[in-house]
């Protein structure tokens, strides 16, 4: 985010506390919501002007795009403030700036741990040791920036989106007062969070309902393919078409160019493509549209591949995703596992952090699965929050004020 946006996201009326700004108009049963945006052009007001509720404000402008995104932004802001308050009690001599920056550093490390240790192994499956091996060291010769192609192909997450937003009450039960809502009716609808139960029902729905499985006969649901942003556009948009057009706008090469880059076979004809996709009918359709595998749009070709063993992407996506996350990690001198970024005791605490515990600490949800990324059906594999290890902040007690802001060795 820009410096101006970063300032807007902080609690500037109590800056000495090191907190993030929260909503001053509404609370989630006493727990904070994100602050509202003050943008003049507000999509949330366009979808329901009578609600009078603008979009939420976060570091990512898409925070209100759908309620699931809102829920996760919200619990991480709550987690920041929870940690900052605990650090202030442990270290009353710390300034607000030290509290904010040290908490920000901890949150960043937790997010890295969750992504690299909990999420990516499930996504990349059997290819993980090859495409994203264990961390060894920082290298200043590695470019950590996002590649052009990654910014497109990581939109493979669209293939995992269900056509409904599910809200569940205590006990992970459905309720007539919170029925499933078609996805397209939730886009930029802040009021569905504030007026319809808050964050907890959304998180329960995400935890207890499986992500959509990407199938070759249904890559995107019609909510995204026919009705995207329908509430404030004259016609619903097609997210698949947008993804492919973005690749063309950016001048990205076709499917085979990236198969070649990854050291994978490059199909030359319909028969070769059918072998790669393990699907003759799909290969026939693609060749009828593109004429040759060389011309297939990279996003479509990548998401059309069969899933790898124990993973949720095909072999080309696994290669490109692994390459990006490896560079992002190895070229980051502040990556949490790099010696000197955290003390050994602090690192041990961060390694125990889980998304399940963040949910427990920042909502009224009392039962969660130990691994919220895996498909879990209540009550199987669910435990009380008291069974989930809490984040131990004691290694941050009474450290020299300001020492946390020093750069690690280069």
- Residues in binding site for heme b: 158
Binding-site members are: 158
Cα–Cα distance, 335 to 64 (Å, whole number): 29
- Lookup result for tokens 């809200």: 167
Copy the structure tokens of residue 311: 């993973």
Rounded to an integer, what is the distance from CA 338 to the centroid of its chain?
Answer: 23
Q: Tell me the C-alpha distance between 274 and 357, whole Å.
A: 44
Which helix (H) or strand (E) segment holds residue 383: the answer is strand 382-384
Q: Which helix (H) or strand (E) holds 369?
A: strand 367-369
Contact by Cβ (8 Å): 10, 20: yes
Backbone angles phi, psi at 367, to 5 degrees: -130, 135
C-alpha distances in angstroms, 223 versus 13, 171, 181, 236?
A: 42, 28, 11, 9
Other CB atoms within 10 A of residue 15 CB: 15
Omega prior to 379 cis, within 30 of 0: yes
CA quadruple 209, 211, 214, 220: dihedral, nearest 10: 100
How far, in Å, CA of 311 to CA of 130, rounded?
Answer: 14
């Amino acid at each position: 985010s820009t410096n101006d946006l970063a300032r807007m996201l902080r609690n500037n009326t109590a800056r000495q506390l090191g907190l993030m700004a929260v909503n001053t108009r509404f609370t989630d049963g006493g727990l904070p919501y994100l602050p509202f945006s003050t943008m003049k052009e507000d999509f949330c007001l366009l979808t329901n002007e009578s609600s009078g509720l603008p979009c939420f404000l976060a570091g990512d402008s898409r925070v209100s795009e759908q309620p699931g995104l809102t829920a996760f932004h919200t619990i991480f802001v709550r987690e920041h403030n929870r940690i900052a308050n605990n650090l202030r009690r442990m270290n009353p001599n710390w300034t607000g700036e030290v509290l904010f920056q040290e908490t920000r550093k901890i949150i960043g490390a937790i997010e890295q741990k969750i992504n690299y240790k909990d999420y990516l192994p499930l996504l990349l499956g059997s290819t993980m040791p090859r495409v994203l091996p264990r961390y060894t060291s920082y290298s200043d010769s590695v470019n950590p920036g996002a590649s052009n192609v990654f910014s497109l192909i990581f939109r493979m997450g669209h293939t995992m989106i269900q056509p409904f937003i599910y809200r569940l009450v205590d006990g992970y039960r459905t309720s007539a007062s919170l029925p499933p809502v078609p996805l397209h009716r939730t886009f930029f609808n802040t009021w569905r969070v504030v007026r319809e139960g808050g964050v907890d029902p959304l998180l329960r729905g995400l935890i207890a309902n499986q992500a959509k499985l990407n199938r070759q006969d249904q890559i995107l649901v019609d909510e995204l393919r026919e009705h995207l942003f329908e509430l404030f556009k004259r016609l619903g948009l097609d997210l698949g078409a947008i993804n492919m057009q973005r690749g063309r706008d950016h001048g990205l090469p076709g499917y085979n160019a990236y198969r070649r880059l990854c050291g994978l076979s490059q199909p030359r004809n319909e028969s070769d493509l059918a072998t790669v996709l393990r699907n003759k009918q799909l290969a026939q359709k693609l060749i009828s549209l593109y004429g040759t595998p060389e011309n297939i749009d990279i996003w479509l070709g990548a998401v059309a591949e069969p899933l790898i063993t124990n993973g949720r992407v095909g072999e080309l996506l696994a290669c490109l995703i692994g390459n990006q996350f490896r560079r992002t990690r190895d070229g980051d001198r502040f990556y949490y596992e790099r010696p000197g970024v955290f003390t050994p005791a602090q690192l041990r605490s961060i390694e125990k952090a889980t998304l399940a515990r963040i949910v427990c600490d920042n909502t009224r949800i009392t039962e969660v699965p130990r691994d919220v990324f895996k498909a879990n059906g209540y009550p199987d594999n669910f435990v009380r929050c008291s069974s989930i290890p809490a984040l131990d902040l004691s290694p941050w007690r009474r450290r020299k004020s300001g020492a946390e802001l020093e750069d690690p060795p280069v």
